Amino acid sequence: MSQVREAITLLSQVLHENGTALVKPETFRQAKFNNNEAVEPLWELLFELLYFCEYHAIDEVVVKAKAQLTTEELAVYVKQEMQKRGFLSRDFLHLPLDMNTGSRELLLALAWLLCKESVIEKFMLKCTSPLDEDKIAVQTEECESPTPKFDKSVFMSKKMSPSQRVQQLQVLNGKLRLSLRRIHGLQLENSSLQHRVHTSTCGVPLSPDKGHLSVMETYMIRHPEVAKRVLELLEQDNLRLQHMLAWRQDEPIFWKWMESVLEIKMKEAPSADLEDYGIPLYFNLDPDTVEKMDDARSQLEEAIFKYETIIEQIEELWETRRSAITQQELDNLLVSINMEISLQRANLMLDNTENMLNRLPSPRCHFQYMGQPVKKSDSTPSRNLPSLQTLSPGSSMGHPVDIESEIERLEQQLDTLENRVHRTQDIYHHRLENLATEIPDSICIQQTLCR
Amino acid sequence: MSIITLQLGQCGNQIGGQLFQTLVDDIYAKPTQTQISPTSNQEYKEQALETFFRFSPGITDAESEQLKARAVMVDMEQKVITQTCSDARKSKKWMYADGQQYYQKRGSGNNWAHGFCVHGPGCDEKVMELIQREAEKCDNLGGFLSLMSLAGGTGSGVGAHITQSLRDEFPHSFIVNQVVWPYNTGEVIVQNYNAVLTLSHLYQTADAIVLMENDHLHKICTQLMNVKKVSFRDINKVICHKLASVLQPLTNSSSPNRQNHLGEMLEDLVPHPNYKLLTVKNIPQMSDRSLQFSTFQWPGLLKHLRQMLIADAAMEEGINWDVRLGEETPRGSVKHNRSVSNMLVLRGKDIQTVNVSDFQEPQLYVPWVPPSIGLSVWRNSRTFNMYEKSAALVTNSKSPVYHLNYITEKAWNMFSSRAYVHQYTKHGLAEEDFVDSFAAMEQIISNYNKL
């Protein structure tokens, strides 16, 4: 139990170090027992993590947004985002928006998000050495200035004739073009200055794969106090990384614990109402699609039920026949079954791909050729196919097939056909020899095996 | 940021020499006169020097470093270039780099076609090489400032050709052409041809064209500067004062991190591709002697400047004060001079207290440009060129249209009787080229008339 506590503490620490608000380990424990006190912090944590997944940073925007959004807006946003990412738990989606109950669901959602989006890995990737980047991050911080604000109302509200509007757009367009050119110039300056730093620090490498100092390194050599600050930042990063590594090790404990959470949930609500599906919230599906999907689903179920009995029968048959069969018969049977299966499969595939691959041999000649081994009086494969198709309602569209597997399959088919040829050849050889022995004074000259 | 100055033709070279001299005089003004702290003065100096000059090691040991203008000089005659270079050297403060000059034996004889069709292609490769060499010495190439006249043959003809090649070579750089408009009672009979041909060609390639009208400049010299016998030197001084007051370091008042890089200014001034003509109005302007006995107040200066803008006056004397905002003719066009964009430059004492709201009135601008986009305000609290307080206004407004109309009409009258056309066609310019140029000018005029 103490291990679990440690793992959770570590997790909350890692999250906090990477910018989220501090969530106490106790909150996680409370959430396991669906305690309502844990609801709000978990909503907020989810919001922050979702924001991180979307924009790769947790910055002051989140803090501002958290303060400005109402609880309802926040909850709706979180639900929407989770659903977008594929978390379709109905219990979660039906959580009340007032953030009063449902901490366990939130905990599960949180764990799902951590796992699905590999949030911790993303945190790790963010901790990189600033020295590698040839940018002076320290300075850009200082240079940030508020972007000049244009009075939007002046732009939009005024009633202007279309020609004036065009002129205005031309002005804005011209401004953009000139800005772009200016940025281009600055880019050139940046690279030329960088080049100069590199050439003038040539021969004093700090890292083995470079022959010069990066701009940042040079800057820090000139400004030791900045170097100190960077060192501090690096140490902080290091600590964070260490925590994340530790988390990596303790992760299984956490997931075990999460399993226990899931178990509790199952115990408390053993039979979730399967009928109470409804349309998933926050998806802009039109009802037609839902209906169609339901239809397809029921068709699939029917098909499964239908063929289940057949399969059972076949299995029974198989058991009874197996005991009363000789080795020879078994071999023959096996070969023919294999062949039949592969041909059926080929047939099926061809039918599926023929829409796309017009150059394949026409289905008719193919069917003629394989009518023989099936040896059923009237059920030719071509007639079988439609019934097969009912199995999967979507298959009438035809699926694209991997060409490699197609080639492999055709080769298999070739092999089996060759085998058959050989066997029939052998049989006729024997027959010929038998006949030859019956005819006196004759010599049988066998045809050489031709390949 | 660095600006490369192209001095094209006799006029361009003379203005260029004066421009660098004005810049240097301002940069090396006595620290006591700058009214700002030594550190900010140093910053100003460094920024201004970086823009227009480069340091290169002196030839003898005595000169440790020398200021060299980032300039390329082009003329078809040697005389003016040699004169300008030696003037620069005499100043002991700066000089032109050796080898950045291109000249030939024979001038273009005020014939645009001779410059554009003969000299232009002939010197193209060599001049581009010089420009490229200069560009490689810039960390951040902010753009090109071409100085030239409209009336002559070399500046206008070769200049137009070089501007085209420059655009091909540096498709993303900013190109500003400063052109000197000839006297209406001009000294060259074909000056209107030359002006039409030059403007129509520049309009396709340059990002902005700064117009300096000799008539206006002459008036400024006689009425404001009290020059009895106006020489080109006096006029050039006024031109350079205007240019330098805009180009010397400034910071944007709405976002203090923005400096007056060429690109930034153009972004504000010429966002619309149909409107590229700029005029510079500045206040106060007076002789050095009267300057000592004058004091100015910001509200008064700006009131004058604003009236200069709306009444389209070139100088503060003789402004028509009857023109007011909001007066419309029965057909809906406005009487006052409306702008696409304005750039207000404030330099000197107490600029933080200046109220610029008078320049933000929506009526000053065309309806499709909101004032928040139309007006940009730039400041620097350092005194400029001995003026304790000075303001300049770069405006992209209707004001050039009168002169455009005048020269186009005159040129068309001459062209309709095919006067002097054979002198142009013999150098390879076709009559269709004339017609194209007239069409382009008409288009420009009609665009500006719509403002």
Q: Are residues B194 and B245 in the same domain?
A: yes
Token pair 């020295």 in the structure block, residue: A131
Confidence of residue B352 (pLDDT cuts 50, 70, 90): confident
A142–chain B Cβ distance below 8 A for any pair:
no
pLDDT at B285 over 50: yes
Please tell me which of the candidates B141, B370, B372 has its beta carbon nearest to residue A185. Answer: B141
Question: Is there a single domain that holds both residue B157 and residue B302?
Answer: no
Question: A155 touching B, CB under 8 A?
Answer: yes
Could you tell me which of B190, B352, B116, B162 has the C-alpha nearest to residue B256? B352
The answer, yes or no, to whether residue B385 has pLDDT greater than 90, is no
For residue A387, what are its two tokens?
């019934």
Rounded to the nearest 10 degrees, how much is the dihedral formed by the CA atoms of A397, A403, A409, A413?
A: 90
**Number of separate domains in chain B:** 3
3-state secondary structure of B75: strand
pLDDT class for B160, splitting at 50, 70, 90? very high
Given a contact cutoff of 8 angstroms between Cβ atoms, the answer to whether B29 and B57 are in contact is no
Indicate whether B280 pLDDT > 80: yes
Q: Is A443 on the interface with B (CB under 8 A)?
A: no
For A157, which residue in chain B has the nearest alpha carbon?
Answer: B370
Among B141, B272, B372, the residue with its CB nearest the CB of A151 is: B372
Q: Is the pLDDT of residue B294 over 90?
A: no
Following DSSP, what letter does each residue of A118-141 receive, concatenated? THHHHHHHH---TTTSSS-HHHHH
| % chain B with pLDDT above 90 | 44
Mean pLDDT calculated for residue range B316-341: 77
Same domain, B232 and B296: no
Q: Is B253 on the interface with A (CB under 8 A)?
A: no
Same domain, B199 and B260: yes
Q: Is B363 on the interface with A (CB under 8 A)?
A: no
Q: Which range in A221-230, B160-169, B320-329 is most confidently predicted, on average pLDDT?
A: B160-169
Buried b or exposed e, range B265-280, using 16+ CB within 10 angstroms: bbbbbbbbebbbbbbb
The more confidently predicted of residues A290 and B393 is B393
Are B185 and B268 within one domain? yes
Complex-level ipTM:
0.88
Predicted local distance difference test score (pLDDT) of residue A128:
63
Predicted confidence at residue A384, as pLDDT, reads 44
Query: Is A172 in CB contact (< 8 Å) with chain B?
Result: yes
Tens-digit pLDDT profile for residues A59-77: 788 888 888 888 888 888 8
From the list A150, A171, A192, which residue is nearest B272 (CB)?
A171
Contacts of B368 in chain A (CB under 8 A): 160, 164-165, 167-168, 171
* Residue B271: φ, ψ to 5°: -70, -25
- Asked whether the CA dihedral A298, A300, A306, A311 is positive or negative, the reply is negative
The helix/strand/coil state of B149 is strand
pLDDT of residue A290: 80
Q: Which residue of A has its CA nearest to B275?
A: A171
Q: At what angle do helices A381-389 and A363-374 cross, to 10 degrees?
A: 100
A162 to chain B: closest CA residue: B368
Residue B79 one-letter amino acid: K
- Secondary structure in 3-state letters for B367-425: CCCCHHHHEEEEEECCCECCECEEEEEEEEECCCHHHHHHHHHHHHHHHHCCCCHHHHH
Confidence at B392, pLDDT banded by 50, 70, 90: very high
Mean pLDDT of chain B: 88
Calpha distance A145→A141 (Å, rounded): 9
Q: Which stretch of DSSP H or E encloses residue B241?
A: helix B232-247
Q: Rounded to two decimals, what is the model's pTM? A: 0.66
- pLDDT for A331: 84
Q: Looking at the structure, do residues B389 and B407 belong to the same domain, yes or no? A: no
Specify the pLDDT at position A65. Answer: 82
Closest residue of A to B341, CA-based? Answer: A171
For position A355, what pLDDT does the model report? 59
Q: Are B200 and B437 in contact (CB under 8 A)?
A: yes
The pLDDT of residue A227: 83
Q: What burial class does residue B182 get, using C-beta atoms within 10 Å of its C-beta: 0-12 exposed, 13-18 middle, 19+ buried?
A: buried
| pLDDT for position A412 | 93
Which domain covers residue B406, as residue numbers? 402-449
Q: Which CATH number do you get for residue B362?
A: 3.30.1330
- The verdict on a CB contact (< 8 Å) between A174 and B271 is yes
Same domain, B59 and B128: yes
Asked if the C-beta of B332 comes within 8 angstroms of chain A's C-beta atoms, the answer is no
pLDDT of the residue at A381: 44
- Predicted local confidence at residue A132, as pLDDT: 54
Residues in B closer than 8 angstroms to A139, CB to CB, are: none
3-state class (DSSP) for residue B365: strand
Which of B282, B315, B336 represents a domain boundary (last residue)? B282
Task: Determine contact: B330 vs chain A, CB below 8 A.
Answer: no
* Whether B256 contacts chain A with CB within 8 A: yes
| Same domain, residue pair B112 and B235 | yes
Given B248, B282, B316, the domain boundary residue is B282
Determine the pLDDT at residue A399.
61
Instruction: Tell me how close the Cα of B157 comes to any Cα of chain A, in angstroms.
Output: 27
The domain boundary residue, chosen from B373, B397, B421: B397
Same-domain pairing of B365 and B256 = no
CB contact under 8 A, A158 and B367: yes
Question: Is 90 exceeded by the pLDDT of residue B412?
Answer: yes
Residues B167 and B261 in one domain: yes
pLDDT at A371: 38
Cβ burial of B387 (10 Å; 0-12, 13-18, 19+) is: buried
> The domain spanning residue B193 has which CATH number?
3.40.50.1440
Task: With beta carbons under 8 A apart, name residues in chain B contacting A184.
Answer: 172
Contact call for residues A126 and A56 (beta carbons, < 8 A): yes
Of B267, B274, B373, Cβ closest to residue A179: B267
Average pLDDT by stretches of 10, chain A with 451 residues:
84 85 86 85 88 82 82 85 82 81 86 87 74 48 46 56 87 91 88 86 76 80 84 86 88 89 81 50 69 89 89 88 77 88 85 60 42 44 43 49 86 93 89 82 66 47
Co-location of B23 and B58 in the same domain: yes
| Same-domain pairing of B114 and B244 | yes
Give whole-number Cα distances, B120 to B74, B75, B168, B393, in Å.
Answer: 11, 11, 14, 34
Check residue A380 and give its pLDDT.
44
**Inter-chain CB proximity B367 and A160 less than 8 Å:** yes
Cβ contacts of A189 on chain B, cutoff 8 Å: 139-141
